[in-house]
Chains A and B, each alone.
Chain A
């Protein structure tokens, strides 16, 4: 009998213990939160004193709702790293959308790549090692590889981007982009945009739609480079103006529809085959709802560039790292006062 009573007491103890555990758990905060020493906050800015647990990314996540925007805090406060007790001002609006300074303005280099090879370079084919070296250089030298959306936000004078921003693009849709470039970009966490000409896709040395879909799902932007990659600015032999016009319409409208069907994504940008364009092509792009288009003129781009004549620097196979560096101009000197 005593044994039964003891066992009942033990059971009651265990229940009580569990109840207390639940109660104590409830009393703790549900979020694993450390609170920054916040001094002041209003609609335009926050002033914080960084704690040991803070990072630029955590502060950006907390105040700018985007952990990738640590650079905003770093650039505004002219710091590279965070130290405990540091007082920081965080603007809560795009502070310098055009990257304008008394001594000039920001420019964004856009790199245009074509294909890749394991070992042997050619004019349009870059070796795996060279590409790796170029990406490593960007990473180690504080360049921020930005997305197409960030780039367009900058050109629309809507979004501020890091001071050392650069964008990466690929033309045509070569399979080596998937085999060689993609793993390297993934390693460095760099986004990129791929301009495909749709008649090429699924062919001999081109990517398949399956591979393109995979790249798209991995966050790469898939955009158009026409249907057949014809030169959009010249009439073919014996082609009448009316035939040329109809061909232009096809080159511009068809890939947009196909990409929508295959990837369920809107194609808003176009890279001109051979990088060349004319007024009629631009007028037609606008009519078909394209937001921007890219040439291969090597200059970097200020925010006020004509969005239908955005420059890109073609990176060729025989470029050494020094030549590559020269393509990374992020500021144009000009006295603005």
Chain B
């Protein structure tokens, strides 16, 4: 029994010892949790004591211009002493100072950035971020805009192709694959106008041309002197494909076309010559005069065709002139004069319908056109009367069938001819009666 008591005593001590640790821990946890949830339940005097060192720290940091740290400690003080009215005021004032300073430095940064003073701009944006660590715009300038870009943006214009853009941007149509690669496009696909493309910026050494431009230009100049204009032109156009702003190649191209025009003009192929001159830039010396001279020569040619009544040739030449020079009055006059002349010829041939068809193609504002149309109608009426009188003659000779035919011709030319209509009806009724008598 004694032994049993000892054992129980030992066990009791052991239980208390081990159990107390758990109980203490448990009670401690509960107390902590209550404190965590109810910090304001700390006695009033303690709160002030707790808050004041943080307030002091905050003011210290504020003096050193470390405003974010000052704000942090001030907020601690405010949380520890929620009854204070002074601390929230200080917090509000500090926040407003921070905002003001951040805004001021950011504005300064923008001004430096606009002036391309990037080092100064960076310093201002860093200062902005120091005052206001979540200032997104300052961060954007520091992380993105102040770094050199490996892409440039390009807005697709109407009818742009990848090759066009490649020529514009890289002076090389063969780099279209590069644009397609970085913009997930296929080289053959049509581009949508307004799309923004990202074009990698290449070092100038990668923009070198696959042809020796200088050598090719010299070669083309020699060819031009030898009057091998087409070959010179081919070289100039090849250079311009890679470097569309190459002035020498552009001059060479103009010279080649001009010379080709002069040669054709010398061969009296004025129309083809004009075609060549038209490919030369209008500012090229002598080209405007050369075009005018050849147009005049073409007009003379056309007038000669008119004299020879070769109307279709007149139209061909005059229309070509208008193709080159839409406002060429002489060519337009010539066309309308030709229509009138053609109309008159058809009046003489008594082909009034065809005459009207031709004249309808002409410009009705022209006096000669107006007059010829009027002549057609007059001639038509006159001819109608001739047929009418012929009909009367046949009627008097009792040739009723012939009379009807003549009056029908009258009506064809003048459908309003009342007497012809009446006479036809009379003749027809007579024919009917005669048939009955027989």
Contacts and interface: CB of A to CB of B under 8 A. Distances in A.
A28 B177 contact: no
Given A334-B126, A336-B126, A35 B28 contact: yes
B150 A283 contact: yes
B21 A40 contact: no
A45 B80 CA distance: 12
B21 to A, nearest CB: 5
Contacts of B54: 89
Contacts of A28: 18-19, 21-22, 25
Nearest to A23: B15
A294 B22 CA distance: 55
Contact of A336 (B15, B123, B151): B123
B25 A336 contact: no
A241 interface: yes
B202 interface: yes
A20 B15 CA distance: 7
Nearest to A157: B139
A38 interface: yes
B79 A42 contact: yes
Interface in A212-248: 233, 235, 241-242, 245
A102 B130 contact: yes
A287 B203 contact: no
Interface in B37-96: 39, 50, 53-54, 64-66, 68-69, 72-73, 75-76, 79-80
B127 A25 contact: no
B325 interface: no
Nearest to A30: B22
B64 to A, nearest CB: 7
B23 interface: yes
A45 B122 CA distance: 31
B79 A40 contact: yes
Nearest to A21: B14
Interface string A260-301: 000000000000000000111011001100000000000000
**B66, B76, B182, B202 pick with most chain A CB within 10 angstroms:** B76
A33 to B, nearest CB: 7
A330 interface: no
Contacts of A317: none
Interface string B139-156: 100110011101100000
A315 B176 CA distance: 42
Q: Which of B4, B25, B198 has the most chain A CB within a 10 Å cutoff?
A: B25
B26 interface: yes
Contacts of B123: 334-336
A105 interface: yes
B105 to A, nearest CB: 9
Nearest to A308: B150
Contact of A242 (B22, B65, B177): B177
Contacts of B21: 27-29
Contacts of A282: 150
A43 to B, nearest CB: 10
Interface stretch (A91-99, A130-138, A251-259): A91-99
Interface string A297-337: 00000001010100000000000000000000000001111
Nearest to B127: A336
Contacts of A124: none
Interface of B is mostly: helix
Contacts of B143: 157, 304
A27 B23 contact: yes
B11 interface: yes
B29 interface: yes
Contacts of A304: 122, 126, 142-143, 146
B4 A29 contact: no
Contacts of A96: 68, 133
Contact of A280 (B11, B72, B146, B200): B200
B47 to A, nearest CB: 10
B178 A245 contact: yes
A44 interface: yes
A42 B146 CA distance: 38
B36 interface: yes
Given A89-B73, A89-B76, A336-B123, A102 B65 contact: yes
A87 to B, nearest CB: 8
Contact of A95 (B72, B122, B181, B198): B72
Nearest to A100: B130
Contacts of B64: 102
Interface string A14-57: 00110011011111110001010011111011010000000000
B201 A29 contact: no
A67 to B, nearest CB: 21
B39 A44 contact: no
A97 B134 CA distance: 10
Nearest to B119: A334
Given A24-B18, A29-B26, A287-B182, A13 B4 contact: yes
A159 interface: no
A101 interface: yes
A24 B178 contact: no
A157 B148 CA distance: 19
Interface in A100-148: 100-102, 105
Given A241-B206, A282-B150, A336-B127, A45 B76 contact: yes
B340 interface: no
Interface string B174-190: 11011001100000000
A16 B69 CA distance: 61
B7 interface: yes
Nearest to A87: B53
B202 A20 contact: no
Contact of B11 (A17, A35, A39, A102): A17
Contact of B182 (A16, A235, A283): A283
Given A35-B32, A42-B79, A17 B25 contact: no
Given A24-B15, A337-B127, 15 more contacts: A13-B4, A23-B15, A39-B50, A40-B76, A45-B75, A89-B76, A95-B68, A96-B133, A98-B126, A100-B130, A105-B126, A233-B203, A283-B198, A304-B143, A336-B126
23 contacts: A13-B4, A17-B7, A20-B11, A26-B22, A38-B36, A45-B72, A45-B75, A95-B68, A96-B68, A98-B133, A100-B129, A100-B130, A100-B133, A102-B65, A157-B143, A235-B206, A280-B200, A282-B150, A283-B182, A286-B150, A287-B182, A336-B126, A337-B65
The 3 nearest A-B residue pairs measured at CB? A279-B150, A27-B22, A28-B22
